[in-house]
Amino acid sequence: MKLRHVLLVSLSLGASSLTPTAVAKPLILDLGQGLSYHRAYTLPTDLPAASPARPQPLVLDLRYTTGGPDAAITLAAWLKFRALPRTPVFILANTETSPALRATFAEREDTPGLIVLGLNAADFTPDLALAVDPETQRRAYNALTQPEALSTLITPTLTKPRNDEAALAAEWHPDRSDSNPSVVAALPADHGKRAASKTPAAPSDAATTVPLPLIDAVLQRAVHLHRALIALRQI
């Protein structure tokens, strides 16, 4: 009976260890050219660990990050050590970042390697403010957890209508386009009618309903700023 009791207790403890809500791990990505991305969900737990190698520029994403006064003190000490002119830290934040954490990098005059980016608000003034819809920002933030979405969130694929010499010649002279099938495929179905009527065609419904690509504008601006600093030989 004693052995059976021990087994039951062990099984119950094992089951209970599986039930608590899983804590999200920090998201770490390589943004290229020596720039890393680190998303912290809760501070101070998710702060990047000190690296024995030479520090590199870093994007520290604190959007929607939680943390109290103790976490703010730890963050302030970490920034003093980590955010240097040659190895800047680009902090992404918003009004949903914990107020204690926002107060930490509000006093950033003594940290020359710290640059804060985000959406301007009454109680939050970043160094670089962007006009972004908060809902769009949240969707882009969530989409970044998919590795294949990183490149499109920073550099979206843009589709432009073909408007080269061959396309224009085929539009105004439909009889010449038969010898080049690739040009025909790139032209709208009514290109012959345009030549006859000499009036501009109205935009199609398909062209007006194409959704804009999802962009993480705040992260995109941090990456662009990093590339500009490299070009200027500041880092």
Per domain, the residue ranges of the chain are 24-157+214-231, 165-208
Half-sphere exposure of 10 (CA within 13 A, CB side): 6
Q: Is the pLDDT of residue 27 over 80?
A: yes
* CATH entry, 24-157+214-231, from 3.30.540.10, 3.90.226.10, 3.60.15.10, 2.60.40.10: 3.90.226.10
pLDDT at 137 (0 to 100): 94
Specify the pTM: 0.71
Beta bridge partners of 229: none
**Alpha carbon distance 58, 171 (integer Å):** 50
Q: What is the pLDDT of residues 203-224, one digit of tens each?
A: 555 445 566 789 999 999 999 9
Q: Is the pLDDT of residue 151 over 80?
A: yes
Query: Using a CB cutoff of 8 Å and minimum separation of 24, what contacts does 141-145 make?
Result: 141/61, 141/63, 141/64, 141/216, 143/214, 143/216, 144/27, 144/29, 144/39, 144/216, 144/219, 145/27
Q: What is the pLDDT of residues 63-106, one digit of tens each?
A: 999 999 999 999 999 999 999 999 999 999 999 999 999 999 88
**Alpha carbon distance 188, 192 (integer Å):** 9
Single-letter amino acid code for the residue at 32 = G
Q: Is the pLDDT of residue 198 over 80?
A: no
pLDDT at 49 (0 to 100): 87
pLDDT at 161 (0 to 100): 54
Lowest mean pLDDT among 13-17, 121-125, 193-197: 13-17
Q: What is the pLDDT of residues 36-48, one digit of tens each?
A: 999 999 999 999 9
**Alpha carbon distance 192, 178 (integer Å):** 12
